[in-house]
A and B are shown apart, each in its own frame.
Chain A
Amino acid sequence: MITAIIVEDEKHCEERLVGLIKKQFPKAIIILGSYNTVDEAQHAITTLNPSLVFLDVQLGQLTGFDLLERFNVIDFKLIFTTAYDKFALQAIKFSTIDYLLKPIESSELAEAITKVVDVISLESMREMVSVLGANLKTPNDKKILTIASGNKYYYLPISDIIRCQSNINYTTIYTRDQKKIIVAKVLKEYEELLADYNFFRVHNSELVNLTCVKSYTKGKGGSITLIDGTELEVSTRRKEDFIKKMKTL
């Protein structure tokens, strides 16, 4: 049996979430209360000790991240909720903490709850929150990416990633210390996530960390050699954009 609190400052959103939880998990989840400011939520977490927190990103002048900052160690698991916030979503995606877009769909809620309760350990959750907090403070090249592979989580500084290679529905991530991590995500997801961090898709199946490019050989598209010796072709269509992007480094 799971005790939960809801941190949400819009009454209608709170009502919907409570309604959906009560309908789908009437016995499994007990809602201890709903709170609409960071201060109240902090107090509730400290005194009531819920095991699950539904945390809205936007909370008046503050954010759900501000609430998490107030705890040295968290003793709860969490699921974010948000209406629309590109910046927050990117930070959340880097940490792989689950989020629900408002208005919340009941099947997505059920999936998120099942995953956080059955699959994710409190320890993993703590790491993810730690990654989230660190990323919000660090400059771009020091950001950490949480990667789920099989049963393990990896917390990689993105500067350690040399390239990501597409394998149909999977992506293989190659790191500086010669690790090969296989993730159940399509390359496109990483392309979008890492677009602002000097990663460039040189052709259909390769996303390269441009700071790991040792040399470029001219040609129709040309080819690049990476710091680990890998040679990759640059697609003809991507050549112009590739050269432009390299100049900005």
Chain B
Amino acid sequence: MDHVHNLFNSLNSIMNYIKNNQPDDAEVFLIRFSKLMRIVLEQSEKEYISIGEEINTLKNYIELEKGRLQHTFECNISVDESMDIENTLLPPLILQPFVENSIWHGIAHMSGKGAIDINITSEGQIVKFTVKDNGTARSFDTQKNTISLGIKITKERIKMMDENNIISNPVSVQDEKTGYISEIFIPLKLNY
């Protein structure tokens, strides 16, 4: 769902590059876009992917969006040292809607240097993902529908993997004046 709307927005960006006579920029964008498409296609067929793979997809996605946004921004992804990111599993593309939200509803409207911080930690049997931006978060009300739908779907996906019901509230998104803070909790699931 999110990916479809992303697809058409990206096609729009490509059209703009062409119309504005920026064929080299269009080329770079298209190659990145194709790579992301392939990754998304492959991963969405799987029930789970590793955190390492999710981070890789996010990096690709963020590079692409940097090309689309008028002004650049920084993105830092940090993982707790003790975590085994190749063996810890999560449903594919679960973080993308929150990163997208921070980019387009947070960073896009600010002046000054934008920054998104993604932090991954675990405590006991729970893994926590935090997506934070320093943008001027638009009030929840104006974006209510898109964000709420994203949250709802993510909650359902996490509920499906939470067989032992250890997580009461898997997703929360707060819109502070100084940016969004999205928190996503999943049960710790290891491959081996």
Binding site for B on A (CB under 8 A): 84, 101-103, 105, 188, 201, 203-204, 235, 237-238
Contact = CB atoms under 8 A, between A and B. Distances in A.
A103 B31 contact: yes
Contacts of B190: 237
A201 B192 contact: yes
B142 interface: no
B18 to A, nearest CB: 14
A13 to B, nearest CB: 12
Contacts of B31: 103, 105
Interface of B: 30-31, 34, 38, 41, 86-87, 190-192
Given A103-B30, A103-B31, A204-B87, A235 B192 contact: yes
B34 A103 contact: yes
Contacts, number: 20
Contacts of A101: 34, 38
Nearest to B87: A204
Given A84-B41, A101-B38, A103-B31, 17 more contacts: A84-B38, A101-B34, A102-B34, A103-B30, A103-B34, A105-B31, A188-B86, A201-B192, A203-B192, A204-B87, A204-B191, A204-B192, A235-B192, A237-B190, A237-B191, A237-B192, A238-B192
Nearest to A221: B192
B82 to A, nearest CB: 16
Nearest to B37: A84
A235 B87 CA distance: 12
Contacts of B191: 204, 237
Contacts of A237: 190-192
15 contacts: A84-B38, A84-B41, A101-B34, A101-B38, A102-B34, A103-B31, A105-B31, A188-B86, A201-B192, A203-B192, A204-B87, A204-B191, A204-B192, A237-B191, A237-B192
A204 B88 CA distance: 12
B95 to A, nearest CB: 21
Question: Which 6 pairs between the two chains have the least Cβ-Cβ distance?
Answer: A204-B192, A235-B192, A203-B192, A105-B31, A103-B34, A237-B192
Contacts of B41: 84
B157 to A, nearest CB: 21
Contacts of A238: 192
Contacts of A235: 192
Contacts of B30: 103
A166 to B, nearest CB: 11
Nearest to A105: B31
A204 B191 CA distance: 8
A6 to B, nearest CB: 19
Contacts of A204: 87, 191-192
B184 to A, nearest CB: 23
A245 to B, nearest CB: 15
Nearest to A203: B192
A227 to B, nearest CB: 23
Nearest to A104: B31
B141 to A, nearest CB: 41
A92 B126 CA distance: 41
Among B34, B41, B87, B192, residue most surrounded by chain A Cβ atoms (within 10 Å): B192
A222 to B, nearest CB: 14
A60 to B, nearest CB: 23
Contacts of B87: 204
A84 B38 CA distance: 9
A238 B189 CA distance: 12
A205 to B, nearest CB: 9
B44 to A, nearest CB: 14
Contacts of A84: 38, 41
Contacts of B86: 188
A101 B42 CA distance: 14
A155 B107 CA distance: 53
A188 B190 CA distance: 15
A89 to B, nearest CB: 11
Nearest to A108: B31
A105 B34 CA distance: 10
